[in-house]
Amino acid sequence: MARTCEKCNTPLDDEGGCVTCDAEAEGLKLLVRSGYASVREMNNALEAAGLSPEMEQVPAGKPEEKARPLWNLYATEAEVEASVLVLRKHWAELLDDPAAAAAAQRGITGVDLDKGGELQCPACGHRFVLDPGKFECPECGLGLGAPAEASPDEAEQR
């Protein structure tokens, strides 16, 4: 497990620095930390509203974050309030979309890989029976489990 900042719990970089605290020292405020696609979408919404957000990759805190890193989305101190309003409106519009609301509900529900039988992909909604040894949706490719989460003998079989 990586060392983390005592102030904000961000994983530290190779030199022991905290990207989040460094950004704050430059007058930026953290809005959200998430995967690249989500942060890019929010960044685009803020830019479309005439704001000037900034994105930054966060050092990996867990082994799986090396393959799928987290990203910080920042706003300048002067634009924090406007940024929050834009993002709230953006999210509200998504939840007004029945397909987006259904996707959000699937994400909240999650997937039980041990249950067996038919599963529904939390991302695309595709229904399927999980093939042994394959832990991704055959429709959209979403990874539903990782060998790193398995016991050592299960991980060796993949």
pLDDT, one tens digit per residue, over 116-130 is 788 888 878 888 888
CATH code of the region 19-96: 3.30.70
Q: Kindly indicate the confidence band of residue 153, based on its pLDDT and cuts at 50, 70 and 90.
A: very low
pLDDT at residue 155 in the model: 41
- Reading the block at residue 31, the tokens are 């809005």
pLDDT digits (tens, 9 = 90+) for 92-115: 777 777 877 777 777 777 677 777
Q: Kindly indicate the confidence band of residue 1, based on its pLDDT and cuts at 50, 70 and 90.
A: low
- CB-neighbour burial class of residue 106 (10 A; exposed 0-12, middle 13-18, buried 19+): middle
| DSSP H helical ranges for the chain | 19-25, 36-48, 64-67, 80-96, 98-109, 152-156
- Reading the block at residue 39, the tokens are 């942060």
Please report, for the chain, the start and end positions of each structural domain, with discontinuous segments joined by +.
Answer: 19-96, 112-156
Q: What is the mean pLDDT of the chain?
A: 84
